[in-house]
């Protein structure tokens, strides 16, 4: 614009009457005005240019994204081998192997067994993180349960043993190093139902600083072959990442029952899951600083292989409580209850012969219910006696068969 010459300019003076001097002054004035105007315009132009750039970029980004969304998804594959001719990958799902070219940069990133994303033409787009099953991650316990060792009655010996195996190696590993033994790897708690096996594990979870991973044995049973085993592998992977860790497997008989000759494929898969567990517990790979606690009430059904030293070093029986134990358990369960002075725990413990911890809890709750039914808030001895009788009735109904025997 500046170089353009303009012919029909509106002159700021009268062409005929103005003197030469006047013409110069007028023109100079005019020039000054124009120059300032020009300056302003140039600033504006710069601003607009910048804004234009910005919009241009945004447009580019959106077009890119648009294109990406329209694109078909990438496939997941695993690197099998890195050779001079290229990289051999195996697609998940159809298990097809392919030889593909990669850039030198990409080649450095890759290693056999890495997970990668490939596009339609099977060239590697990017490397993916190692996968661990979300299901395994979910099992990590973040909020520790509010059960402490004080809440467990009558199992002093068992508690002691569990703490020795689980807590000692975590708290004082140097002791074991000095003595020169490997700390025991796991404990198996077994005993009749309702005797506090899971409670013990909860207390450990509450008390320990290690990350606590809990699961039920049945969670490891899956529909497809290899899935259960993979979950076990992932579980230990998660544990290794979060060392030190405690893994708790409840109802382990779901997967660790005796291997039989049964050819039903369902059983076979469950057994394969168990074998993976065996391998993880004491196999070729270093187990790391991981303790395992398992619980079952079908000890007789467990496979002998899982019981051998090196896997579960410690087999701890959690029996039904004795009379002293029952007394303590009564006291624990009535801690928060409004109990009258006439309640005699010693007598209750004597009365509740052969009761498990869970039975006692049921008696306490039932006694509370009796009080509520009577519109009382205080619980008397008689409530406990009535509750015990009620629970007894539910339990015993066996006499008919035994008439045939003497």
Partner 1 sequence: QGQAQQQAYDRGITIFSPDGRLYQVEYAREAVKRGTASIGVRTPEGVVLAADKRSRSPLMEPTSVEKIHKADDHIGIASAGHVADARQLIDFARRQSQVNRLRYGEPIGIETLTKEVTDHIQQYTQVGGARPFGVALLIGGVENGTPRLYETDPSGTPYEWKAVSIGADRGDHQEHLEENFRDDLTLDEGIELALEAIASTSDEGTAPDGVDVATVSAETERFVELSNDEIESYLEANDLLATEDDEQTEE
Q: Of the ranges 28-36, 138-146, 257-265, 386-394, which one interacts with partner 1 (CB under 8 A)?
A: 257-265
Rounded (5°) CA angle 298-304-306: 85
Is residue 288 a known part of a binding site? no
Is residue 196 a known part of a binding site? yes
Please give the helix or strand (H or E) that residue 87 lies within, else none: strand 86-91
CB of 231 to partner 1, least distance (A): 27
CB of 392 to partner 1, least distance (A): 13
Is residue 44 a known part of a binding site? no
Q: Other CB atoms closer than 10 Å to residue 28's CB: what's the count? A: 11
Report whether 266 contacts 224 (CB < 8 A): no
DSSP per-residue codes, 156-189: HHHHHHHHHHHTHHHH-HHHHHHHT-PPP-EEEE
Is residue 198 a known part of a binding site? yes
| Total number of residues that touch partner 1 (CB under 8 A) | 10
In angstroms, the CA 321 to CA 316 distance is: 14
Which residues pair with residue 89 across a beta bridge? Answer: 79, 98
Structure tokens at 248: 């708790």
Q: Of the ranges 212-220, 234-242, 333-341, 397-405, which one interacts with partner 1 (CB under 8 A)?
A: 397-405
Q: Which one, 284 or 405, has the nearer CB to partner 1?
A: 405
Q: Which one, 285 or 350, has the nearer CB to partner 1?
A: 350
Is residue 100 a known part of a binding site? no
Rounded (5°) CA angle 190-192-198: 60
Q: Is 101 helix (H, G, I), strand (E, B) or coil?
A: coil
Q: Does position 1 bind partner 1 by CB under 8 A?
A: no
Structure tokens at 319: 């029996």
Q: Which of 17, 94, 264, 396 binds partner 1 (CB under 8 A)?
A: 264
CB of 403 to partner 1, least distance (A): 8
Eight-state DSSP code of residue 380: -
Q: Does position 399 bind partner 1 by CB under 8 A?
A: yes
CB of 351 to partner 1, least distance (A): 10
CB of 399 to partner 1, least distance (A): 6
Q: Which one, 134 or 404, has the nearer CB to partner 1?
A: 404
Q: Which one, 2 or 404, has the nearer CB to partner 1?
A: 404
CB of 405 to partner 1, least distance (A): 4
Q: Does position 263 bind partner 1 by CB under 8 A?
A: yes
Q: Which of 2, 9, 134, 404 binds partner 1 (CB under 8 A)?
A: 404
Half-sphere exposure in the Cβ direction for 249 (13 Å, CA): 26
Q: Which one, 105 or 261, has the nearer CB to partner 1?
A: 261
Is residue 325 a known part of a binding site? no
Q: Which one, 10 or 398, has the nearer CB to partner 1?
A: 398
CB of 377 to partner 1, least distance (A): 33
Is residue 199 a known part of a binding site? yes
Report whether 318 contacts 190 (CB < 8 A): yes
Strand-strand pairing, 211-216 and 245-250: parallel
Q: Does position 261 bind partner 1 by CB under 8 A?
A: yes
Please give the helix or strand (H or E) that residue 118 lies within, else none: strand 115-118
Eight-state DSSP code of residue 73: P
Q: Does position 402 bind partner 1 by CB under 8 A?
A: yes
Q: Could you tell me which residues come within 8 angstroms of residue 270 by beta carbon, excluding any fewer than 6 positions away? A: 221, 228, 254, 255, 257
Q: Does position 405 bind partner 1 by CB under 8 A?
A: yes
Report whether 393 contacts 386 (CB < 8 A): no
Q: Which one, 130 or 263, has the nearer CB to partner 1?
A: 263
Report whether 240 contacts 290 (CB < 8 A): yes
Q: Does position 9 bind partner 1 by CB under 8 A?
A: no
Q: Of the ranges 54-62, 88-96, 255-263, 387-395, which one interacts with partner 1 (CB under 8 A)?
A: 255-263
In angstroms, the CA 46 to CA 345 distance is: 91
Which residues pair with residue 76 across a beta bridge? Answer: 117
C-alpha dist (Å) from residue 163 to 124, 168, 246, 309, 320:
50, 7, 12, 18, 20
Q: Does position 397 bind partner 1 by CB under 8 A?
A: no
Q: Could you tell me which residues come within 8 angstroms of residue 303 by beta carbon, excluding any fewer than 6 positions away? A: 256, 257, 258, 259, 274
Q: Which of 53, 71, 119, 262 binds partner 1 (CB under 8 A)?
A: 262
Q: Which one, 168 or 391, has the nearer CB to partner 1?
A: 391
Q: Does position 393 bind partner 1 by CB under 8 A?
A: no
Residues within the annotated binding site?
A: 194-199, 333
Binding site for partner 1 (CB under 8 A): 261-264, 399, 402-406
Residues within the annotated binding site for ATP?
A: 194-199, 333
């Amino acid at each position: 614009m500046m170089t353009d010459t303009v012919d029909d300019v509106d002159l700021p003076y009268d062409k005929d009457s103005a003197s030469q001097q006047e013409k110069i002054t007028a023109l100079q004035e005019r020039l000054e005005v124009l120059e300032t105007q020009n300056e302003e315009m140039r600033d504006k132009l710069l601003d607009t240019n910048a804004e234009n750039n910005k919009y241009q970029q945004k447009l580019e980004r959106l077009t890119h994204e648009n294109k990406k969304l329209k694109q078909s998804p990438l496939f997941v594959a695993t690197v099998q081998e890195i050779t001079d001719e290229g990289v051999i990958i195996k697609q998940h799902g159809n298990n097809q192997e392919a030889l593909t070219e990669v850039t030198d940069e990409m080649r450095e990133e890759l290693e056999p067994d890495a997970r990668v994303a490939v596009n339609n033409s099977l060239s590697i787009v990017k490397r993916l993180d190692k996968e661990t099953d979300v299901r395994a991650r979910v099992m990590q316990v973040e909020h520790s349960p509010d059960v402490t060792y004080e809440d467990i009655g009558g199992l002093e010996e068992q508690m002691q043993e569990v703490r020795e195996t689980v807590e000692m190696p975590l708290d004082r590993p140097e002791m074991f190093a000095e003595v020169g033994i490997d700390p025991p790897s796991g404990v198996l708690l077994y005993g009749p139902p309702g005797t506090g096996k899971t409670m013990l594990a909860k207390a450990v979870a509450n008390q320990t600083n290690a990350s606590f991973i809990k699961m039920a044995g049945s969670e490891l049973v899956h529909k497809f072959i290899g899935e259960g085993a993979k979950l076990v592998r992932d579980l230990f992977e998660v544990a290794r990442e979060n060392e030190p860790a405690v893994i708790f497997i409840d109802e382990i008989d779901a997967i660790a029952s005796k291997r039989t000759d049964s050819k039903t494929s369902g059983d076979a898969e469950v057994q394969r899951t168990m074998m993976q567990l065996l391998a993880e517990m004491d196999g070729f790979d270093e187990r790391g600083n991981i303790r395992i606690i398992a619980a079952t009430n079908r000890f007789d059904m467990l496979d002998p292989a899982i019981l051998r030293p090196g896997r579960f070093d410690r087999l701890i029986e959690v029996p039904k409580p004795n009379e002293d134990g029952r007394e303590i358990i009564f006291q624990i369960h009535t801690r928060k209850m409004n109990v009258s002075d006439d309640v005699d725990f010693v007598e209750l413990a004597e009365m509740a012969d052969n009761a498990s911890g869970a039975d006692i809890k049921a008696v306490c709750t039932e006694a509370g219910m009796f009080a509520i039914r009577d519109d009382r808030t205080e619980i008397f001895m008689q409530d406990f006696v009535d509750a015990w009788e009620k629970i007894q009735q539910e339990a015993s109904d066996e006499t008919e068969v035994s008439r045939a025997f003497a």
